[in-house]
Amino acid sequence: MPVKVSEEDVQGFLEKAIELARASGELMREAFYKDKKVDTKTNHADLVTETDGAIERDVIAALKEAYPDHRFIGEETAVDGKQCDFTDDPTWILDPIDGTTNFIHGIPDFAFSLGVTVNKEPVVGVIYLPIPDTMYTARKGKGAYCNGKKITANVIHEVSQALVMSEGGNGRDETVIRTHSDNLHQILTRSRGLRAYGSTAIDLCKIACGQGEAYVQYDLHCWDMAAGVVLVREAGATVMDPTGSGLDLMSRRVLVATSEDLARQISAMLSHIANGRD
């Protein structure tokens, strides 16, 4: 049986996520201007700082206190190689610092990202950029907002008019990198240009507020996109698997475009990569 939550409950999830984003942003701002202790995870490009871990611990502890019956998935507490326990229960999916490499290198483009799913469907998304103090919020069926002002995607239908975003990713498998490079070549040949801000969350914020028309990425994780999926959908964009099928949040890949026509055009250009599952 599907899990039932009230509209009041979902609004409460949104308010709690905003509260935690603001508190986490204070920690991120303070740490940004200090020397950082940096460790690697899977390889030299997959980085983590003590701030990532501290924020995740604080946020999940607060959520467990407020919602003891809910489930929680966090980037830094995910067990390497083990699939996430993703159920119909209300689930909070957290990336404490999306754009850790930017954070480490003194680039202010990084974000706190927190999404909530119910029945495996994203229903709340909060993305907070602490340096410019910019808060993106969305609730399923209620629109997308930036600092309280409603935002909408810049809807176009032709790839020749699109600014497309994608990231290099943290993986360093040679075959994956080659396929990704070939895909970017196909897109660049046909589109107005490519952009990479170093953070999936920020890329999706750009699309939601009309500063780009598409995003495609393989080799990412559910915590990279859970919040952003709600935001771009509520801003009017289409979200799907890069193959053209429906989005599977655990599939580690996503295609977002500001119209279904545009999404289908981009999908047809791509050589698809299977990255396993979260």
- Give the orientation angle of helix 200-208 with respect to helix 222-234, to 10 degrees: 0
- What pLDDT band is residue 35 in, cutting at 50, 70 and 90? confident
- Which residues does the annotation mark as catalytic? 75, 95, 97-98, 100, 224
Condensed to tens digits (0 to 9), the pLDDT of residues 44-98 reads 555 568 898 999 999 999 999 999 999 999 987 775 556 788 999 999 999 999 9
Contact 139, 14 (CB under 8 A): yes
Residue 41: pLDDT band (50, 70, 90) is low
pTM of the model: 0.95
CATH topology of domain 159-269: D-Maltodextrin-Binding Protein; domain 2 (3.40.190)
Residues forming CATH 3.30.540.10 domain(s) in the chain: 7-148
Say yes or no to pLDDT of 155 above 80. Answer: yes
pLDDT tens digits, one per residue of 203-251: 999 999 999 999 999 989 999 999 999 999 999 999 999 999 999 999 9
pLDDT band, very low/low/confident/very high, at 173 (cuts 50, 70, 90)? confident
CATH topology of domain 7-148: Fructose-1,6-Bisphosphatase; Chain A, domain 1 (3.30.540)
Residues of the chain with CATH 3.40.190.80: 159-269
